[in-house]
Structure 1
Amino acid sequence: MARHNDTGKEGEQLAVEYLAAKAFKIMERNWRFKKSEIDIIAIDGNEIVFVEVKTRHENFLVEPELTVSKKQQRSIINAANQYIISRGIDMEARFDIISIVISSEGENVKHLENAFYPQL
């Protein structure tokens, strides 16, 4: 497996552990709809949360959370809509990004709640 795949899997596991420690209920991991994937789907209180995880090693040029493009946001939003419809979910939806930087000193986890919104 390529290093970036290992880094991504490691980051997603760290994100799940982080969210679980914050009392989020993890519903799904790597949920797919057509060509789209949602890294983590969780419940936080009365909201369903769709989480994109971005992980980098310490020598990076751009903050990981800044690499979520508008196109990727639209893809996640469309997949989230399908998830909500297919499961008959009646909750407010939220779109978060978890940014993880792995360095020799450990991991730095940054959680951006409401990182992006569906366009009306």
Structure 2
Amino acid sequence: MAEHNDSGRLAEQLAADWLVQKGYELLDTNYRYSHSEIDLILKHKGLLIFVEVKFRSGTGFGFAEEFVDSTKRRLIIKAADHYIYENDWHHDIRFDIVGVYKDRHGNINFRHFEDAFY
């Protein structure tokens, strides 16, 4: 597997652990439907939350939220619609982005953007 894929999977695991520590319940990871994928699916305070995780080693090329374009959002929404139908969910949902940042000293930091789109 390519190094960027390994970094992405590690970032997803770190983000999942961080959100669980904040009281979120992890339901699914890397949920796939057609050509779409949702990194994390969680529940929190009665909401079903679909999370896109983006890893950045620094912010020189921009912040994580800037790399979720309209095409990516459309694919995530498509997969979320299928997940909602498949699991017979009838309550509120939310789409979040979690940026996982590694600074030059190797420290990991998170930026959580709740209700990021839709």
- Measured after TM superposition, the shift of residue 14 of structure 1 is 0.8
- Does 2:12 align with 1:36? no
Q: Distance in 2 between matches of 1:15 and 1:67?
A: 17
TM value normalised by structure 2: 0.95
Q: Mind listing any 5+ residue stretches in structure 2 that lack a counterpart?
A: none
- Measured after TM superposition, the shift of residue 59 of structure 1 is 6.0
Alignment match, 2:116 = 115
Q: 2:109 corresponds to which letter in structure 1?
A: N
What is the percent sequence identity of the aligned residues?
38
User: Superposition RMSD on alpha carbons, in Å?
Assistant: 1.1
Structure 1 stretches of 4+ moved >3 Å: none
TM value normalised by structure 1: 0.93
Instruction: Render the CA deviation track for 1:42-62: whole Å, top value 9, x for unaligned.
Output: 001110000000001126411
Give the length in aligned residue pairs: 117
Q: Distance in 2 between matches of 1:70 and 1:30?
A: 20
Q: Mind listing any 5+ residue stretches in structure 1 that lack a counterpart?
A: none
Q: Distance in 2 between matches of 1:73 and 1:59?
A: 21
